[in-house]
Structure 1
Amino acid sequence: MSPLVSLFLLHIVTASAAQLHPGYYLGTCPKAEAIVRDVMKKAFTKDPRSLASIMRFQFHDCFVNGCDASLLLDDTPTMLGEKLSLANINSLRSYEVIDEAKATLEKACPGVVSCADVIIMASRDAVALTGGPDWQVKLGRLDSLTASQEASDDVMPSPTSNATFLIDLFGKFNLSVKDLVALSGSHSIGKARCFSVMSR
């Protein structure tokens, strides 16, 4: 994992996050980051591919209405969640790793650590555990109570998107061509589904 990828992840996490800060849980759940890191280490031992999957969670969550864990919400009678959006259905995996981290945190510090922050910590740990850099993440996010399959379908890039489209899309989020290249490079770990590359 290149330093550019970690800088991209840091950029997308901190954009519009002025109230966030490192060590947010030191007073309320001091072992929060260690707990998440331990769960990620166990996931890596069990299935090395899970780390690539968790890295994708951060992008797929943050790109749609911000880093709010809306990606984790199931459908309800009045809401279609993001899990079944075109970019996520049969693509995102390892939800159980995030669930395990959250459950372990709930035992240690009930009702303290948000799912949104779990995704951020787990993604950072996935980068570090695959040999990339480690860094302090700013924490203090709140979880969303709503999700939007439509918003995910509208904004998430397709494997068939061309460079011009992707550059314009990332520009709408104040992300540069360098950010786009770094994120694309992060796809060099993990596995892809055949249909994602058949058109090329």
Structure 2
Amino acid sequence: MGYRGRVVAVCVVILFNILRYGYYHIYLGYLFDRSFFVLTGIFLLVAWTGGRQYDVAKFYSEKDPLTNAYNRRTIDKVFKKQIYQYRSRGKKMGVVLIDLDEFKDINDTFGHQTGDELLRCVAELIMNIAKKEDYVVRWGGDEFVHVILDLKEDTLSDYVRNLRGKLCNLDMEVVQTVSASIGIAVYPDDGETFEALIQKADTSMYEMKKA
């Protein structure tokens, strides 16, 4: 969760109090009173609390509350912004669709609490692999999407191999190994819209499932 709301609110209060001090004590010539600091402290506390509410609301509007990955609505906005830069610069972007195999059986065997823990572990694993500027999205149910920005040539095969290896050695007490079907698509080779890239990745993933 970011601090933007709190930082902005506190900065506004500080600016307001600088103006308040200048107006009353410099311009009007009122004697300085210690209550100035008391009121400033109260204003800062209110600003911090209000700013935190904004940060919490923004966090849950962008993130999946279970896994801390981004949600689908956020990635739609992000992709539309990124696409303008990538068109002009000739860069590539990778879209990796990850679907956990036999997740329903895990839920039925070990319970939904274990299933939720597995989703959190997998999301954290993907985020640890991802670069700082990438986006990891909970696409729905047991599916995740990793949007790899500024994709380099011939890195996706290494990525898939690395991800599979880490899933096979998952650090969970009950579920110690997980497999996943993985589909990939590359912008602009496989499409110029996010919908087209997801469709291509989805087709690639189901071909892997059949195989």
TM interval, short-chain normalised: under 0.3
Going by fraction, where is helix more abundant, 1 or 2? 2
Higher CA-based Rg: 2
Q: Select the structure with the greater relative contact order (CA < 8 A; seq sep ≥ 6).
A: 1
TM-score when scaled to structure 2?
A: 0.26
